[in-house]
Amino acid sequence: MPILTVHLEKITNLADEDHIGKSDPYVKFELEQDNAFFDKDFGEMKSTKKKNEQNPVYGEDFNFNIPTLNNMELKVKVMDDDVGPDEELGSCKIKLEKLDLGPEPIDVKRKVDNNIFSPDAYVFLKLSYTE
């Protein structure tokens, strides 16, 4: 089965949402096929947590087995590891069929948070698709 590889490089300019201390961000990837009536789930993966970091660097790879790129959507959620429920710091959706994916990784930069008083937050990924 073909493999989508997601390389999580880094995130820049995360807003500090914690009132005590700094945010402890991690990234949650969800992959689904966006169909007209029934979406099909292809899994969820999480990065490591980076303690007290507003510009975390990850260098982590995630592999998803998927049958096709048609209607595939990668949801990227940047979360803050909290004592209580984890808080979402930002997110974006990437429609994979609109990218010209192949075995060579391509750079993908997406805005995950609109910051009002500071620069916007971005996630930096490298995506590849091997059949």
Tens of pLDDT, residue by residue over 44-58, are 999 999 999 999 999
24, 16 contact by CB (below 8 A): no
**CB atoms near residue 125 (< 10 Å):** 24
Spell out where 1-131 has E strands. 3-12, 25-33, 40-46, 57-65, 72-80, 87-95, 106-113, 121-130
pTM: 0.92
Would you give the distance in Å from CA 50 to the centre of its chain? 15
Q: What is the pLDDT of residues 2-51, one digit of tens each?
A: 999 999 999 999 887 655 567 899 999 999 998 877 888 999 999 999 99
Measuring CA to CA, which residue among 40, 43, 39, 49 is closest to residue 87? 49
How high is the mean pLDDT of the chain?
91
In the chain, which residue ranges form alpha helices assigned H by DSSP? none
The Cα 58–Cα 48 span in angstroms is 8
Angle (CA) 67 72 73, round 5°: 145
